[in-house]
Structure formats: structure tokens, C-alpha cells
Chains A and B, each alone.
Chain A
Amino acid sequence: MSPLEGQVRIPSGCAVSAMISKDGRRMNGESIIESMIPMHDRSNGLGGGFAAYGIYPEYRDFYALHIFFNNRACQSECMTLLKEYFEIVQDEHIKVRKMPQITDEPIIRRVFVSPMQSVLRHLQIDDKELVVRIVNRINSQLDGSYVFSCGKNMGAFKAVGFPEDVGRYYRLEEYDAYCWTAHGRYPTNTPGWWGGAHPFCMLDYSIVHNGEISSYDANRRFIEMYGYKCTLQTDTEVITYIADYLLRRQGLNLEEMAAVIAAPFWSTIEGESEEKKKKLTYLRTVFPSLLVTGPFSIILGFEGGLMALNDRLKLRSMVVGEQDDMVYIASEEAAIRVMAPDIKHIWAPAGGEPVIVKVKEGAF
């Protein structure tokens, strides 16, 4: 048997796309699926996926775990573990549409959970940290179980296949989200299983990414010091952990995080105002191992917004469009034109310059 993703590192090319309503209007998945069609050639049928925010309003207080199981035995083993730490609020099948393009499907479950207060008190950690630890434990230690989404009021949907097929397979037209991100993958080897598809998620952070980062092992070996385990060996995974570490654990804001992972060149920093220079120098000095080099364009989704970012040399394409309350982001302009045919305002952000979009407070 050829090695599964995680046992080898598989470089990939990709397509990304995203749409978000700043007013918090919820839209079904039709449009985001359509947007991937003109970028069909950027994927090769070996991975596609979506993340959707605002889809579980009635369960908004619970962590929504989306899990792949290889078989029933894995499922019961994993559920036993979960029950030690969480109340299980709901445990259901994720509905899919059978189609010839998507095969070899695992068991796909959605489990809404709530951390047990007694456990939190005992471990002296907060609920997010508990979710991170248990998900890491399942993904790195329980063979045949894989949690691929674990945020609140959001979820990822992914599979081996072309993204437009994956979207239809998961019946995304039946979900309503204020923010959608999508990913089509062009891995150089076959990933062997569905966990390797993107987006990659941790809590409410989801990442879709296009590129192959050259700093991978420097980033991985740094972040693994802080309890993260890079089981998939993908860029997306390590970037997600970096985002979680910098935003949640270090308390940086999005601009500060961008100044770490796509840090401005020293020559640029020299020319900044005294105050800015101090701040940028500080961030580069404190987190040098989290600088990400090599080509990437990423879209980081989170509760109430998203951030798009290119590597500092802009080695991967990424365009942004804005119309009314909507912001669109994609690898190619063609994808944006599918989502908003008469859009006027389209631009390409500079390398290392974050595009941050936030939904109006209270609207999500």
C-alpha cells in the first residue's frame, strides 16, 4: 500500500475562493460551488473542500465536530474517548448525495459537544484548550478516526474529488452561511484518504491555502513545541496551528499575525515610522520561526470574518473583489465573476498585505 498523507509530505498546487457578507446575510453554498468551476484545472480531483460560517445557529453554543471514521470500531472507540470529556448533545450522520465521482467514503459524522465543567476545573484549562487537546489526541493517536472540523456554528466539508463535486456531494446548497471558503487541490501524489483534503480547521479557524511553503519544517518544528502535532504534514495544517498559536494563545491581532507570518523585509521596516519600526522589529525578533516563506495565498476564516494574505513576494495569485456588503476572494478573477457577474471593484492586494474583512458586530 502506498503511504497515506501524513506519512509522507505531499506538495500541492491549488485553487482558493471565498465570499463573505459584511452584513452577516446568510447565503447557501450554490454560488461558492459554482465559483470553483472556472478554476477546474487548478485542481486534479484529488481533494476539494469548503468551510461555512453561521450554519448551525440553533446549536451555536456547542462545538460541532465533523469526524471521519474508517469503520464502526473506530467510531465507538472515539466516542468513548469523547464521552470522558464532553456531554454529547447530538450525534448524527452528515447527509450526502451519492455520486460516481466520489468514492471510498468513510463514515462521516457530526457530533455537537459541550465540555464537562468538572473536567475543565480538574485540568485547569478553558474549553477551547480542551477541544484542541482532545482533537489533537484523536487525530494523532486514534487510528482510523479523524476530526476535521471542531468550531462553533461553523463547519468544514471535504473529500477526495473535484471541489464542485465535493460541494454537491455534501449538499452545500442546503446550508446557509454568512461566509464561505473553498479549496480545490492539486497534490503531486495521491493523498490516499480524505483527511488530506482542505480546508484545515482548528476551533473556529479554517484555512484554505494555495502554495507550497519552503519554511515548512522550520515552522513545524517550532509549533510542535507548543503541543500541536502536525499529523498531515501539510502546509495548511501548520499554518492553521500558527494562526491558533498567535491569535488565541499569544493574543496577537490579525495585523500583528500577518506581520509575523508574512513579515515585511528589514529594508521596508527601516523606512517605517519609529513606532511602527519598533513594533515590526519586535514581532520579527520574537517569532522568527513563524515567518512563512515560499509561495502562498491563504484565506483564514474565523467567527465573524476572514483574512486573506499572500506571501511577501506575492508568488501566488490572489484577487479581491467588493460589491455592496459582499467581499469576494479567489485565486483567479474568473471565479469572482461567477459569484458576482457585474462586479466593478476588483484588485490584487500586494504581497504580505493582509485583507481583513469583518462582519458587523452582532450580525453573526
Chain B
Amino acid sequence: MNFYPEFEVVRNDSRCIRCRVCERQCANEVHWFDADGKVMLSDESKCVNCQRCVTLCPTRALKIVKSDCRLRENANYSDQTIKEIYRQAETGGVLLSSMGNPNPLPVYWDKILINASQVTNPPIDPLREPMETRVFLGKKPDHITRNPDGSLDTTLSPQLSLSMPVMFSAMSYGSISYNAHASLARAATELGICYNTGEGGLHEDFYKYGKNTIVQVASGRFGVHKDYLEAGAAIEIKMGQGAKPGIGGHLPGTKAVGDVAKTRMIPEGSDAISPAPHHDIYSIEDLRQLVYSLKEATEYRLPVIVKVAAVHNIAAIASGIARSGADIIAIDGFRGGTGAAPTRIRDNVGIPIELALAAVDQRLRDEGIRNNVSIICGGSVRSAADVVKAIALGADACYIATAACLAMGCHLCRSCHTGKCNWGIATQRPDLVKRLNPDIGSQRLVNLMTAWRHEIKELMGGMGINSIESLRGNRLMLRGVGLTEKELQILGISHAGE
């Protein structure tokens, strides 16, 4: 069934100089030059609104607008719902999407406000006073021990030291490009934080960034071997992902080319499909065994992170993980991004990270085991304010991925699964990959994190806090607006004005 396209390409012909940049830049082949009529034409049906042509058009002759040709309005059956039904009736297939859930579900970050000091205690000026953002993730001992001479025994289980409580979340080499990985690895190293390999292994060129790398072990075990495990600063077991709880990763064969296939240790061109569960983990005891096998394999030098999707029973699950020997729990909320996920799962499974985080932090405290693990919060952390709110709710650090992609040029067109990312991020086509220059990509990531760090310091200073430790779990610094009693109770915060 054919529809009028979702977007219209509007070209101002009086400005267009026929340079054909748009034609070269659009991997979706929307634009072409009609030599006879000497005009640029477009097939708008292929446009994903990635804004590449708009951004690069030298005379600003282009804009992409939402088409106003709509099916008859219906509040129950939206345009999209109807078109999806047509598509499935045609293909018999599962719908695929990418990036995070775009639907208008509540964003609790936006309903939480931050405190500042007035009169009774002084705000602190980050330009004049030291303001600390360093964190250590990992298990903390219940009791100190002393050497025979009475001095403190300072041995600790492995800790992940970060200059600020933000890290780049898992994105596999394969789902994103070599240049994107290079940008993330270099930025993480310069910033003193970590990036995460995702489940596609680690390209041999990037072993040198190991101190700032978290190596992931997912259910497909792609690219996992002894040197890989030993290369990083921490190992992450991926049990689930916020965008698609309950299912495994999926890399289409078209992206499994060359070095991607080699790094994953799979034949070129084959689909890399991770099973939904880890086939050696069918319960919490099994998880414990995997945690300890990874620790054994790396001589207990590295902290082990267990990453789970935020699902209904997350508090109990986290409490189980905290007792499994894991050093860190990463919780990924339902708005988290993905390179490809079944639409129905992305849009309907899982719960908001804010509620999950608050519930987990409180449950671990109720059980007296909050010190056993650190908590990383991910799944749509969009700004320094979100970071501050997450820390105050109880997170030790945050994971960001979509924001990192945006810094590298992503325009959130949500077409990553097509492999034709015009910005050189979610693609393996060499002509597209080279559009992302790792020098610039890493610099922009460093800039973004530096800006956030300043903002975090300003927000902390305003609250009279000069160290991130004193913000963690400090829920008194938060107030809700427009939230119900129940929501406030789960978040563990008071309403504004209380």
C-alpha cells in the first residue's frame, strides 16, 4: 500500500545552486539531479528526516517538514497505528525501530526540581571553592580491618575510579562504527571516565584504551576471550537492556562486515543474534557462578557489573544481584536507546528509570546491603540536571548513550537499524563511516562532559554541597511537581511546597 510520505522535502529553487551536495550526502537516495530539466528532484518517501542534507546545503535551500497529508483523524487509531497495521498486513513481519521510546509517556526527571541554599546555609561558589565529582564504584567493606600494628588494612575489593559520575553506555562495534568507537574511547580516556564496548567485542586498535573501557559479556558471547576480559577496567554482564527487556541483541548481517565480523568472531555477513537469556543463567545462583567465573578469569582484579533492564520487579531483582557477588548494578530504563529493537517491545516493555532507581536504592537500604554494590543509572539521562537528580535519588553514576551519539552528530532520526546512518555513527558503510572524524567526535564528547561537569558543580554548589558523595541518595534535595502521592512515595521525595 502506498502512502503520501511522512516528510516533505521543501527546496527553495531560487536558492538551489545545483551543487548536488544533498544528492551525495543522502544515503537514502532521496535527491537526484535531473539533467534534462536542470533541476534537483527528490523521492520523499525514502526520507527519514536525519537533517543531513539540510545541515550541509550551502545556500540553505532545503528544509524537511512533516507532511500534513493525514488519514482521517482518530484519537484511538492514530496515523501511525493504522500505517503499522498496513505494513504488517503486507509483510507479515515484526516491526523494527531504533533509539529510545519516543512516545509521550511520563518523564519523571521533568517533574522533579532541585533545591538551593538560602540564608540558613550558604551556597558554595564552584569558581572559588573546590568542588569534587570523583566517584569510586564497587563493593565497600562492612567492617574495617586492622593490621597487627593497629594501622588500617587498606586493601579493598576492586573499584572503578571515575573523575565524574557519568560514563558512556554500551554500544557495540557493529551497531556503531569504528570511528564512533574511536571517538568514545578517546574521549573517555581524556576525561578519566569509561566507555563500554557493548556486546560486539573490542577492536584490536582499542586495547590501548583499556583503562577506560568496560568490556561487556552478553548472551551471545560475541568477541569474548581471555585477553578481551583482561583488557578492560571492569567487566559488564549484560542481562538485559532497557529498550528491549527480555530479548537479546540483534546485528543484521549487512552490518557484520570485515573487522566487525572478525572482532565478534563470527562469519562475515551472518546475522549476530544474541539469545534472550544467557544459556548458562536460568536463575540467580547461575548468575553468581558467571560473576565468579569472570572474577576467577581475571584474578579478582576487576569489578563486575551486572546490567539489567528496569522491569516491574526490579527492586527484588537488584537485591538478588547485590547478593550475587556483583560489584555494581547497572539499571537501564525503558526509554533507553537501541540500534535495533522490535517496536512493540521497545514501546511497551519495562518501567521508567526514575522509579526503578528510587525503588532499588531504597530496597537495598532496607535490606542493609546498599554498600555491597554501586548503582549505575541509564536509560535516558539527557542533561546535567538529570544526572544530579539521579545521584540524589541514589545512583552512584549514570550511563549515557543517546546524548553521546547526539554529541557525535546524531540527529535522532531513529533509523539506525537500516545501517545507513548519514552521520557515520550507526553504519558500517565506509563512505558514511568516514563522515565522523574521531578527532572531532572525541573533542565534542569531551566538550559535552566538561560542560555537564561544570553544571553539576554549579547545581551542587547551589545546594551547599561540595562533594558528589554528599549528594548521593540525598533525596531531601529533590521535590516533585504534579506527582501523585504514590509516585512521590516511590520516588521517596516530598512535593514542592512541603
Where the two chains meet, the residues of A that have a C-beta atom closer than 8 Å to any C-beta of B are: 9, 11-13, 188, 211-219, 221-222, 224-226, 250-252, 256, 263, 265-267, 278-279, 281-289, 291-295, 312-313, 315
Contact = CB atoms under 8 A, between A and B. Distances in A.
Contact of B151 (A216, A221, A224, A279): A279
22 contacts: A11-B121, A12-B120, A212-B120, A214-B121, A216-B476, A218-B474, A221-B365, A221-B475, A222-B365, A222-B370, A222-B473, A251-B144, A256-B152, A279-B151, A279-B152, A284-B469, A287-B140, A288-B135, A292-B470, A295-B464, A313-B466, A315-B122
Binding site secondary structure of chain B:
loop
B368 interface: yes
A214 B470 contact: yes
B43 to A, nearest CB: 57
B129 A313 contact: yes
Given A11-B121, A212-B120, 11 more contacts: A214-B463, A218-B471, A221-B474, A250-B143, A256-B152, A279-B152, A286-B140, A291-B469, A294-B464, A312-B466, A315-B122
Nearest to B371: A225
Contacts of B140: 285-288
B159 A221 contact: no
B417 to A, nearest CB: 41
B154 interface: yes
Interface in B442-498: 463-467, 469-477
Nearest to A282: B154
Given A217-B476, A291-B469, A294-B464, A11 B120 contact: yes
Contact of B474 (A12, A212, A215, A281): A215
Contacts of B136: 285, 288
Contacts of B134: 266
B474 A217 contact: yes
10 interchain residue pairs of minimum CB distance: A215-B470, A217-B476, A214-B464, A288-B469, A11-B120, A212-B121, A218-B474, A282-B154, A293-B470, A217-B474
Contacts of B476: 9, 216-217
A291 B136 CA distance: 14
Nearest to A217: B476
A13 B144 contact: no
A126 B155 CA distance: 29
Contacts of B475: 217, 221
Contact of B120 (A13, A250, A291): A13
B298 interface: no
A217 B473 contact: yes
B130 A286 contact: no
Max chain B Cβ within 10 angstroms of own Cβ: one of A218, A226, A291: A218
Contacts of B477: 214, 217
B121 A295 contact: yes
B152 A216 contact: no
Given A214-B121, A215-B465, A225 B470 contact: no
B102 interface: no
B472 A265 contact: no
Contacts of A312: 466
B154 A294 contact: no
Contacts of A188: 120
Contact of B472 (A218, A267, A315): A218
Contacts of B144: 250-252, 286
B347 interface: no
Contacts of A221: 365, 473-475
Nearest to A218: B474
Interface in B86-145: 117, 120-122, 124, 129-130, 132, 134-136, 140-141, 143-144
A72 to B, nearest CB: 35
A216 B471 CA distance: 9
A181 B270 CA distance: 76
A217 B135 CA distance: 18
Contact of A295 (B122, B135, B159): B122
A266 B476 CA distance: 26
A287 B124 CA distance: 23
B156 interface: yes
Nearest to A214: B464
A293 B365 contact: no
Contacts of B143: 250
A97 B467 CA distance: 47
A252 B144 CA distance: 8
Interface in B346-403: 365, 368, 370-371
Nearest to A277: B154
Contact of A293 (B146, B154, B467): B467
